[in-house]
Amino acid sequence: MSANLNNINLKKRAAKISLWGGTIIFITKLIAFLATDSTAIFSDAAESVINIVASSVALYSIIISSKPADKDHPYGHGKIEYFSAGFEGLLIAIAGLVIIYSGIEKIIVGAEPTKLGFGIILIASTAIANFLLSQYITRIGKKTNSLTLIADSKHLMADVYTSTGIIIGLGVVIVTDISVFDPIIAIVVALNILITGYKLVRESVGGLMNEVDCETMKLISTKIISIRKHEWIDIHELRFWKSANNIFIDFHLVLPYYFTIKEAHKSDELVVAEVDKILPGSQVKIHMDYCDFELCKYCEFAECKERKEALVEKTKWNQDRITGIGIRKINGLQEP
């Protein structure tokens, strides 16, 4: 089985487990609410409904993103995962607002929860289940580079924070016999949920806008610089973008003008092979540029027999250098 197919199967299985797990957790919370009439537990159950919807959307987006590239989608269907993550972030934010609204309402009209000990036991069990489920989804999400699963795991962890806050709140209510602590704790936890939702939406927008992932850019730049050959006169305009677990990389490479296509292709093969070691399955496209005699003073290719000028200035390669403009533009030279 190919690595890509294995990743697809892992993502689908994780999404299904998340969906069924979320459903069981919701039923448990619903039982707790019916038994206690607690505002906080009601809010927690409401968030679990959103978890189920989000997990359903996550499963659908994974199924769609796993489809191979076709005529209408030559780069594949991976971008849908960013929509899914954004949608989950929006749902998380809505859950936070619902909890805040419900809490304020109960503070105003009063709250008299009952059987809180039983409710705490049930909510604690759902918190543990959500935590374990979140850790599993996170592990698979990172392994398969799936933004959808990572977003889903953050959604589950937001639920864990909610449940933990509610357990503390209900414990305070039991000890003090002051019922108003129930909705107050729920509101405090909801603020954290809103922040989580915002971060997910922000990450989703960044992915759709092809915002640079600094860690990945550093990884790619470091690899290319480490395998630099003397005949590589210049590399510039290094870019990449992600679509699900696919990464598309492109840059300009300046080679001696007299190199044959076969010789140039050796550099292409080297880069593709080396980048694949750090980012398996990535696609690299290199725009081959040719040098001219104005670049001789920057060229470190000692074997060149066409040189018209000795090496005067060595070019220091770093991330800023190879992601920026070419050496010609830096030195005010015209493109050939």
pLDDT of residue 3: 63
Say if pTM beats, i.e. exceeds, 0.85: no
Most confident by average pLDDT, 79-93, 107-121, 249-263: 249-263
Work out the average pLDDT over 217-230: 94
Asked if 172 and 188 count as a contact pair (C-beta separation under 8 A), the reply is no
Q: In the chain, what percentage of residues exceed pLDDT 90?
A: 33
**Domains recognised in the chain with CATH numbers:** 3-208 (1.20.1510.10), 214-330 (3.30.70.1350)
pLDDT band at 263 (very low <50, low <70, confident <90, very high): very high
> Nearest Cα to 122, choosing from 69, 223, 12, 45?
45
User: Contact 185/165 with Cβ under 8 angstroms?
Assistant: yes
Count CB atoms within 10 A of the CB of residue 142. 12
Asked which of 181-195, 261-275, 300-314 is least confident by mean pLDDT, the reply is: 181-195
pLDDT for the residue numbered 88: 77
**Structure-token pair, residue 51:** 């978890």
Cα 124 to Cα 221, 291, 317, distances in angstroms = 46, 67, 55
Give the mean pLDDT of the chain.
86
Statement: residue 1 has pLDDT above 50: no
Which position has the higher pLDDT, 235 or 115?
235
Amino acid sitting at position 292: D
- The neighbour count for residue 104, using CB atoms within 10 Å, is 15
- Residue 115: pLDDT band (50, 70, 90) is confident
How far is the CA of 47 from the CAs of 90, 220, 260, 328, in angstroms?
Answer: 12, 40, 62, 57
Question: 283 has which bridge partners?
Answer: 248
- In this prediction, residues 266-278 reach a mean pLDDT of 94
Q: Work out whether strand 246-255 and strand 234-243 pair parallel, antiparallel, or are unpaired.
A: antiparallel
- What DSSP character marks residue 77? S
Angle in degrees, CA 228, 303, 277, rounded to 5:
20
Determine the pLDDT at residue 196: 78
Residue 335 has pLDDT above 70, yes or no: no
pLDDT in tens, 161-178: 888 888 888 888 888 888
What is the pLDDT averaged over residues 117-143? 92
Residue of 216, 263, 220, 254 whose CA lies nearest to 235: 254
